[in-house]
């Protein structure tokens, strides 16, 4: 067989490794039921109202969607109080991240700053776009190193990325912290705030800069329907970008990346306040329960503003992961985030949470 070459930076790519699906685990371990608390998905599933809307629109699947998803963009703009022109809807917020890297950075010249133990997409996109990336160190508690990020920026820095609330630590930056960072960045540098978990930060007004979007000239906020809205499988997210930047990115993007059913579902999800509020109360209750119970089991637990908690167990996480899997529970070991001593578990239903805690107790003390 003939070997074809690709761009040199692609040759040594480490692939993104997602967690196993429930079906894969069932087959591998011969299990009837599996509790999945590994991917920060919505414990309530997909809203019944949204499911109905997807079915009602199924027959329209032969049509192209409207380019740039304008009805959803308008709905988001109304609910967030930002100009419609600033909203860019994507195939998951991952697509917006990818577009920003490719369109803002100049290959071989620009650099991007994020911190260590961050979401793998940033490093992946930087490599793919041919941009230098700088991973700023964190302290022993993994606090978000915003001041050090400002120091690491120079005139070639095109983006500084903060995940808030952070994945996997659950820590969040306050609006004041973000305002300070935004104010000291070089002139042409964006402060990208990945707000995939912002719905779970409490109280929201202390954390999201979107409420004062017109006061920040250089901020891009990234949001998703994958977590609080329970639509991870439909792939829909969005960015709120400075006016002119949003227009330039729209001109250059690939058309029709957000499908017609995803647009209908996301509009319905935004309007379904009952499901959203139930999700929030379940998550807030669950993360408090996890924090208390994991502490009782001798784990160190980080305070979470998200729908998961990070903890350091008193035993090797790789072993715990295997033992839990055999008993039909999957959580996330954090070796791939550069945190081999830690694990992440997302909030499930109350019953799933209790089963996880009981089973972990058996694994640790058995």
Q: Provide the binding-site residues for ligand PLP, judged by CB under 6 A.
A: 40, 92-94, 119, 163, 167, 194, 196, 224, 226-227, 232, 237
Q: Are 92 and 235 contacting, i.e. CB atoms less than 8 angstroms apart?
A: yes
Q: CA-CA distance, 137 to 114, in Å (whole number)?
A: 9
Radius of gyration of the chain measured on its C-alpha atoms:
21
Q: How far is the CB of 196 from ligand PLP (least distance, A)?
A: 4
Q: How far is the CB of 315 from ligand PLP (least distance, A)?
A: 26
Q: How far is the CB of 38 from ligand PLP (least distance, A)?
A: 12
Q: CA-CA distance, 94 to 153, in Å (whole number)?
A: 24
Q: CA-CA distance, 343 to 346, in Å (whole number)?
A: 10
- Nearest residue to ligand PLP on Cβ basis: 92
Q: Which is nearer to ligand PLP, 150 or 232 (CB)?
A: 232
DSSP string of 181-204? HHHHS-TT-EEEEE-TTGGGSSSG
Q: How far is the CB of 221 from ligand PLP (least distance, A)?
A: 12
Residues shown for the chain: 366
The percent of the chain in helix, strand and coil, each rounded to the nearest 5, is: 45, 15, 40
Strand order in the sheet with 308-312: 300-301, 308-312, 343-346, 332-333
Q: Which is nearer to ligand PLP, 31 or 54 (CB)?
A: 54
Q: Which is nearer to ligand PLP, 44 or 297 (CB)?
A: 44
Backbone angles phi, psi at 191, to 5 degrees: -100, 105
Q: Which is nearer to ligand PLP, 39 or 57 (CB)?
A: 39
Q: Are 156 and 131 contacting, i.e. CB atoms less than 8 angstroms apart?
A: no
The pairing of beta strand 157-163 with beta strand 87-90 = unpaired
Q: Which is nearer to ligand PLP, 94 or 272 (CB)?
A: 94
Which residues does 314 contact at the CB level (< 8 Å), separation at least 6? 298, 299, 364
Q: How far is the CB of 2 from ligand PLP (least distance, A)?
A: 35
Q: Which is nearer to ligand PLP, 114 or 213 (CB)?
A: 114
Q: How far is the CB of 204 from ligand PLP (least distance, A)?
A: 17
Q: Which is nearer to ligand PLP, 194 or 199 (CB)?
A: 194
Q: How far is the CB of 114 from ligand PLP (least distance, A)?
A: 10
Q: CA-CA distance, 127 to 135, in Å (whole number)?
A: 13
């Amino acid at each position: 067989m003939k070997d074809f070459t690709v761009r040199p930076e692609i040759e040594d790519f480490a692939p993104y490794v997602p967690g196993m699906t429930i079906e894969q685990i069932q087959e591998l371990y011969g299990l009837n039921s599996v509790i999945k608390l590994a991917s920060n998905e919505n414990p309530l599933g997909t809203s019944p109202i949204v499911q109905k809307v997807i079915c009602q629109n199924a027959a329209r699947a032969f049509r192209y969607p409207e380019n740039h998803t304008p009805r959803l963009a308008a709905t988001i703009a109304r609910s967030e109080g930002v100009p419609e022109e600033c909203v860019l809807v994507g195939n998951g917020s991952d697509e917006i991240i990818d577009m920003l890297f490719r369109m803002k950075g100049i290959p071989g010249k620009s650099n991007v700053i994020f911190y260590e133990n961050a979401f793998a997409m940033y490093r992946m996109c930087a490599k793919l776009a041919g941009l230098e990336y700088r991973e700023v160190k964190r302290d022993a508690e993994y606090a978000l190193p915003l001041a050090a990020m400002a120091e690491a920026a120079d005139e070639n820095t095109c983006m500084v990325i903060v995940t808030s609330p952070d994945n996997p630590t659950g820590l969040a930056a306050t609006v004041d912290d973000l305002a300070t960072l935004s104010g000291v960045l070089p002139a042409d540098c964006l402060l990208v705030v990945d707000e995939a978990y912002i719905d779970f930060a409490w109280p929201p007004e202390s954390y999201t800069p979107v409420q004062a979007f017109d006061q920040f000239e250089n901020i891009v906020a990234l949001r998703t329907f994958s977590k609080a809205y329970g639509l991870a499988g439909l792939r829909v997210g969005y960015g709120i970008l400075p006016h002119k930047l949003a227009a330039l990115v729209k001109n250059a993007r690939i058309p029709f990346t957000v499908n017609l059913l995803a647009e209908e579902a996301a509009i319905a999800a935004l309007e379904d306040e009952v499901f959203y509020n139930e999700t929030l109360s379940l998550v807030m209750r669950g993360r408090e329960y996890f924090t208390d119970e994991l502490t009782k089991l001798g784990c160190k637990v980080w305070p979470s503003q998200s729908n998961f908690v990070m903890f350091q167990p008193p035993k090797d996480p790789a072993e715990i992961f295997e033992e839990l899997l055999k008993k039909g529970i999957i959580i996330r070991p954090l070796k791939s985030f550069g945190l081999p001593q830690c694990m992440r578990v997302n909030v499930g239903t109350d019953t799933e949470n209790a089963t996880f805690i009981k089973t972990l107790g058996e694994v640790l003390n058995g």
